[in-house]
């Protein structure tokens, strides 16, 4: 079994020998573990109990809106404080399935919403998940018919961040978690 701890000053003793740390990998790994994202198959998801939780809606024909909220994508925190609308053009010959994703890019050092467009008559676009390069977390799958109708499939994963209000206000939970079980 390998044991490791992070983060330390210096570079010569104990676990500090892996320093200098790369924020895109080591720090992201720690943040994912704290947020519960490391336990999800996609290594990320929507942070529960934040305003909006990146809610999905369709405000008009051919448009899908992702609301405000926060998420973790392979250890990188993401926040959108405004609605983001994505348009889906009508396919010409056969139905198409697209995806709305959150994409972490190590090259641009960003996490952004984007649409991955599928091929007409083809299958659902695959997620890119390459550590150190690009990591996608799904938000929604959008089926677009040749008549322009869209069907939205919510693919958000909600991370298991505890509800702080419950912990602080419930004396049994608070005392057990912070001070250990009382005799």
Dihedrals φ, ψ of 58, to 5°? -130, 95
The answer to which of 62-66, 71-75, 140-144 has the lowest mean pLDDT is: 71-75
Polymer length of the chain = 183
Instruction: Tell me how far apart the alpha carbons of residues 30 and 124 are, in angstroms, rounded to a whole number.
Output: 31
Least confident of 26-35, 44-53, 120-129: 26-35
β pairing state of 44-47 and 158-159 = parallel
Confidence band (pLDDT; 50, 70, 90) for 37?
low
pTM listed for this prediction: 0.75
Q: Are strands 69-73 and 110-116 parallel, antiparallel or unpaired?
A: unpaired
Residue 15: phi, psi to the nearest 5? -75, -10
For residue 158, name the pLDDT band (cuts at 50, 70, 90): confident
What pLDDT, on the 0 to 100 scale, is given for residue 106? 86
Q: Which of 105, 95, 107, 89 is nearest to 137 (CA)?
A: 105
């Amino acid at each position: 079994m390998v044991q490791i701890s992070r983060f330390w000053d210096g570079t010569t003793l104990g676990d500090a020998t892996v320093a200098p740390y790369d924020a895109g990998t080591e720090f992201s790994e720690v943040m994912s573990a704290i947020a519960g994202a490391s336990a999800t198959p996609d290594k990320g998801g929507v942070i529960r109990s934040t305003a909006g939780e990146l809610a999905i809606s369709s405000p008009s024909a051919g448009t899908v809106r992702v609301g405000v909220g926060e998420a973790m994508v392979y250890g990188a925190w993401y926040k959108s404080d405004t609605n983001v609308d994505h348009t889906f053009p009508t396919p010409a010959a056969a139905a198409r399935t697209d995806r709305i994703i959150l994409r972490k890019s190590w090259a641009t050092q960003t996490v952004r919403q984007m649409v991955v467009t599928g091929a007409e008559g083809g299958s659902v676009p695959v997620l890119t998940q390459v550590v150190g390069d690009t990591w996608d977390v799904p938000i929604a799958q959008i089926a677009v018919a040749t008549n322009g109708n869209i069907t939205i499939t919510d693919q958000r994963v909600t991370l298991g961040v505890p509800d702080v209000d419950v912990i602080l206000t419930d004396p049994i939970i608070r005392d057990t978690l912070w001070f250990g079980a009382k005799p």
